């Protein structure tokens, strides 16, 4: 494709994404559906350009005014994902000179905000939690996330799938913590693989796999995944139950649960029962009160642990939206807890890095519900033979550690989990 045409398309897409009226991945998908003329390589350039602009938006906002032409074109030039000479062949002489000047700017000469590219309201809580770890986190958030797969433990073994992928020229390494995970560099066409088609693997971040592991659901139990969404964790839990017992996948969005159906069919699981609920106090929930062995609450959250994949979230969330989420998280956790029978387990999890969505919710719940005893996540994972479990925990209530995963420390998305057993 001609460089000029590709750059123009990049500028158009950048303009659409920077309106922030829809999630970036949805905007990109819709753009590709409307423009069938782009091949896989052009699509990769378009998507990566957009994500680079989202990751480095404050820096590019700072550099772009000195350029010429429409702002989205300047942003697309700065974020262009592809060879420099290819890009330059699409530029005017004035633009080339401007780009050379931008390339010559040294990171050390920039203000902090142009180096970290995070909104100020997010910087303070991250620095407070991480201290010297703040800049390594920033560095990791500027990189795209690797692709993690979960091997379906019901039907396949990890080493076998690893060999099968190698035969398809896909190099996969075992994830360090999850016993089911394989990590892949790059973005191979998974849908074309037999391993994917027959349900031997699903795409799932290693951190998300660990949440399913923490629930430790056993054969024949009654289990609830309370905010199941598209069901990545549901499928992992169903496999740990060896396709026995009953696993309810509840969500308030029937649309999200629809995305679970084809995955469920591939997975060979017959113990999963998806059900759309109106709200966390739905009649269906009341009927199951006190009857469930294990409940996972992967609560709706800001998603700020997933900035490697969804860099638009840092610009689409705000202190106000987080405040609304914490009210929702508190209500959902309290309602879900009613399902747990005595001796049962409750897991609260988010993919956020903010203490107010994590530790604060867990501690308030613990204080209000003395019949729920906090468990040490590191002990639970060590008992499940997770290598390096020691490095996965952080301080919690009553000295019991929470799961706390960070991109720069664990190469996963940012995750939090707290575990309780009902007395």
SS (H, E, C) 96-152: HHHHHHHHCCCHHHCCHHHHHCCCHHHHHHHHHHHHHHHHHHHHHHCCCCCEEEEEC
H or E segment and range at residue 225: strand 222-225
Q: What is the pLDDT of residue 187?
A: 85
Query: pLDDT averaged over the chain?
Result: 96
Q: What is the pLDDT of residue 413?
A: 97
Q: What is the pLDDT of residue 186?
A: 82
Give CA angle at 313 (307, 317), nearest 5°: 135
**Tens digit of each residue's pLDDT (9 = 90 or more) over 258-308:** 999 999 999 999 999 999 999 999 998 999 999 999 999 999 999 999 999
How do 172-174 and 181-184 pair as beta strands? Answer: antiparallel
Structure tokens at 5: 């045409």
Closest alpha carbon to 366 in 384, 348, 385: 348
Confidence of residue 1 (pLDDT cuts 50, 70, 90): confident
**Tens digit of each residue's pLDDT (9 = 90 or more) over 140-184:** 999 999 999 999 999 999 999 999 999 999 999 999 999 999 999
Among the options 10, 102, 301, 351, which is catalytic? 351
How far is residue 414's CA from residue 137's CA, in Å, rounded to a whole number? 10
Structure tokens at 202: 């699903």
Q: At what angle do helices 206-215 and 232-240 cross, to 10 degrees?
A: 50
- For tokens 């190698």, name the residue: 166
Closest alpha carbon to 203 in 219, 234, 186, 182: 182
Confidence of residue 114 (pLDDT cuts 50, 70, 90): very high
* pLDDT at residue 310 greater than cutoff 90: yes
Burial (CB count <10 Å: 0-12, 13-18, 19+), residue 6: buried
* pLDDT at residue 257 greater than cutoff 90: yes
Q: What is the pLDDT of residue 397?
A: 86
How far is residue 316's CA from residue 408's CA, in Å, rounded to a whole number? 23
Q: What is the pLDDT of residue 181?
A: 98
Using left for φ > 0, alpha for ψ between -120 and 50, and beta otherwise, residue 344 falls in: beta
* 3-state SS assignment for residue 185: coil
Residues whose CB is less than 8 angstroms from the CB of residue 353 and which lie 6 or more positions away in sequence, other chains included: 125, 126, 129, 304, 305, 406, 414, 416
Beta partners for residue 345, in sequence order:
294, 421
Q: Are 32 and 38 in contact (CB under 8 A)?
A: yes
* pLDDT at residue 225 greater than cutoff 90: yes
Confidence of residue 396 (pLDDT cuts 50, 70, 90): confident
Give CA angle at 118 (132, 299), nearest 5°: 90
Structure tokens at 277: 């609920």
**Tens digit of each residue's pLDDT (9 = 90 or more) over 13-29:** 999 999 999 999 999 99
Cβ atoms within 10 A of the Cβ of 396, count?
23
10 catalytic per annotation: no
Instruction: Give how far Cα 139 sits from Cα of 55, 116, 120, 259, 310, Å.
Output: 11, 8, 17, 33, 15
* pLDDT at residue 419 greater than cutoff 90: yes
Q: What is the dihedral of CA 129, 133, 134, 139, to 10 degrees?
A: -140
Q: What is the pLDDT of residue 77?
A: 98
**Tens digit of each residue's pLDDT (9 = 90 or more) over 177-189:** 999 999 998 889 8
């Amino acid at each position: 494709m001609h460089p000029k045409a590709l750059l123009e398309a990049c500028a158009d897409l950048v303009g659409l994404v920077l309106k922030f009226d829809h999630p970036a991945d949805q905007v990109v998908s819709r753009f590709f559906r409307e423009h069938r003329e782009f091949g896989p390589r052009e699509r990769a350039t378009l998507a990566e350009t957009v994500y680079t602009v989202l990751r480095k938006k404050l820096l590019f906002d700072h550099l772009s005014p000195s350029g010429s032409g429409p702002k989205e074109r300047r942003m697309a030039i700065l974020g262009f994902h592809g060879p420099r000479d290819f890009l330059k062949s699409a530029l005017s002489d004035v633009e080339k000179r401007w780009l050379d000047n931008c390339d010559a700017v040294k990171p050390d000469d920039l203000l902090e905000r142009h180096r970290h590219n995070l909104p100020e309201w997010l910087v303070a809580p991250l620095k407070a939690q991480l201290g010297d770890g703040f800049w390594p986190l920033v560095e990791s958030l500027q990189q795209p996330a690797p692709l993690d797969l979960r091997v379906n433990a019901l039907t396949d073994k990890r080493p076998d799938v690893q060999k099968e992928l190698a035969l398809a020229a896909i190099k996969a390494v075992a994830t360090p913590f999850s016993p089911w995970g394989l990590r892949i560099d790059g973005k191979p066409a998974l849908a074309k693989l037999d391993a994917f088609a027959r349900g031997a693997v699903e795409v799932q971040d290693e951190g998300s796999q660990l949440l399913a592991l923490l629930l430790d659901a056993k054969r024949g139990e009654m289990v609830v995944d309370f905010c199941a969404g598209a069901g990545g964790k549901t499928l992992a839990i169903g496999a740990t139950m060896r396709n026995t017992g009953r696993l309810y996948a509840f969500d308030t969005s029937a649309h999200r649960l629809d995305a679970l159906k084809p995955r469920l069919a591939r997975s060979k699981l017959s113990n999963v029962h998806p059900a759309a609920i109106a709200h966390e106090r739905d009649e269906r929930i009341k009927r199951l009160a006190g009857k469930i062995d294990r409940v996972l609450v992967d609560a709706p959250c800001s998603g700020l642990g997933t900035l490697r994949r969804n860099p638009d979230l840092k610009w689409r969330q705000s202190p106000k939206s987080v405040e609304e989420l914490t009210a929702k998280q508190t209500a959902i956790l309290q309602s879900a807890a009613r399902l747990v029978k005595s001796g049962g387990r409750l897991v609260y999890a988010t993919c956020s890095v903010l203490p107010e969505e994590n530790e604060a919710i867990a501690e308030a719940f613990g204080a209000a519900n003395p019949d729920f005893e906090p468990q040490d996540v590191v002990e639970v994972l060590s008992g499940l033979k997770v290598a390096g479990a020691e490095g996965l925990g952080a301080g919690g209530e009553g000295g019991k550690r929470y799961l706390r995963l960070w991109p720069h420390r664990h190469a996963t998305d940012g995750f939090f989990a707290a575990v309780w057993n009902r007395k």
